[in-house]
Amino acid sequence: MGKLFNISEAANIAIHSLALISTSKEDLNATQIAEMLKLSRNHLSKIMHILARHKFVTSSRGPKGGFKMLRESGSISLLEIFELMDGNLEQDHCRRIDGICPFSDCVFGDVRQRLFDEFKTYYQNRKLSDLSLNY
Amino acid sequence: MGKLFNISEAANIAIHSLALISTSKEDLNATQIAEMLKLSRNHLSKIMHILARHKFVTSSRGPKGGFKMLRESGSISLLEIFELMDGNLEQDHCRRIDGICPFSDCVFGDVRQRLFDEFKTYYQNRKLSDLSLNY
DNA sequence: TGTAATTAGGTATTTGAATTCGCAAATGTA
DNA sequence: TACATTTGCGAATTCAAATACCTAATTACA
């Protein structure tokens, strides 16, 4: 989908997958989720595997296998998912010339800080359970 | 420097280069700018070439050659430079499932729109001439 | 117990951006 | 005019992220 504010495609997929699972009545397997999100099963599997290893979901193999929420969706912020997939969401600084932007208070002024804070706060407060499906 | 909010490294370099040229008393050549910004001359040349083709600067070859501002630095917004390098700064939408996010009003809510607007407005208003060098 | 379904996960490929390389074209100066 | 300097720019390389491939391990169930 392209990147929004430094969020990787993997993190985006992770969010969507968890949202699908947490709003679904039955267990979903990788094939179903991949189908719903229009991406390859293999690629999705990788991401689900990470979510399983980190105890967001349980996974079970074999026929009737699939994924199931392990944690309360009200306890999972979007930020937590982003950080799992992309590493710590840290503000990146404008590093030119020995690690410091040569322009006083940086070419970018304070807008970086402001947008970053707003962004982070928003995703910190927004929980998986706040999402609702259209279909 | 890594990416901030979808801004490419090329756009970042372009901004810094123009800022250096516009605050410099003498003409600067590619070698000097590359030196100042700690990147390779060839890589910088590419970017300067684009800026020259688009009439932000004049370029002259040969000994004593280099780059010089062509336009008033007060008339150049950071946004214009970004858009030259990266193409139109358009909000990118969350496209899953036939181009539409399956979650009502999208997983990302309105934060995308808000941050995007703020970001764009800021860079629209901020002119090259607003920048001042530290050194 | 055999088979099909399903996740696990290492490896390979693709893709696009960033970066480097190499040489051609232009130009100032001796 | 010869030469050193500098930009122009196509082509190659690197690098990381995204994505695909392949097979092993696990499991439900006929």
Q: Is B15 in CB contact (< 8 Å) with chain A?
A: yes
- Whether chain B has a CB inside 8 Å of the CB on A38: the answer is yes
**Nearest Cβ partner for A5 among B115, B132, B133:** B115
The pLDDT-based confidence of A61 (bands split at 50, 70, 90) is: very high
pLDDT, tens digit, 9 for 90 and up, residues B92-108: 667 666 566 777 777 77
Give the residue, B80 or A87, on which the prediction is more confident: B80
pLDDT of res. A41: 93
Nearest to A37 among B1, B96, B108 (CB): B96
Distance A30 CA to C3 C1' (A): 21
Among B19, B107, B122, select the one facing A103 at the smallest CB separation: B19
Residue in the block written with tokens 């927004």 = A126
- Is it the case that residue A135 has pLDDT exceeding 70? no
Q: How many CB atoms lie within 10 A of CB B94?
A: 20
A interface test, pick of B6, B96, B105, B132 with most A CB neighbours within 10 Å:
B96
Judge whether A49 and A59 are in contact, CB under 8 Å: yes
The alpha carbon of residue A57 is apart from the nearest alpha carbon of chain B, in Å, by 19
Chain A hits for B97, Cβ within 8 Å: 36-38
What is the Cα–Cα distance from A87 to B49, expressed in whole angstroms? 36
Token code pair at residue A81: 């998912």
Task: For residue B94, give how far its alpha carbon lies from the nearest alpha carbon of chain A (Å).
Answer: 6
Q: What is the pLDDT of residue A96?
A: 65
Burial of A49 (0-12, 13-18, 19+ CB in 10 A): middle
Of B111 and A71, more confident: A71
Give yes or no for B120 touching A (CB within 8 A).
no
Residue B42: predicted pLDDT: 94
Summarize pLDDT for B12-48 with one digit per residue, the tens. 899 999 999 998 988 999 999 999 888 999 999 999 9
Q: What are the structural domains of chain B?
A: 9-130 (1.10.10.10)
Query: For chain B, what is the mean pLDDT?
Result: 85
Q: Which residue of B has its CA nearest to A18?
A: B107
Region A75-100 average pLDDT: 80
C-alpha to C-alpha distance for A35 and B128, rounded to whole angstroms? 48
Q: Does A12 touch chain B (CB under 8 A)?
A: yes
Say how far apart CA B52 and CA A24 lie, in whole Å.
Answer: 56
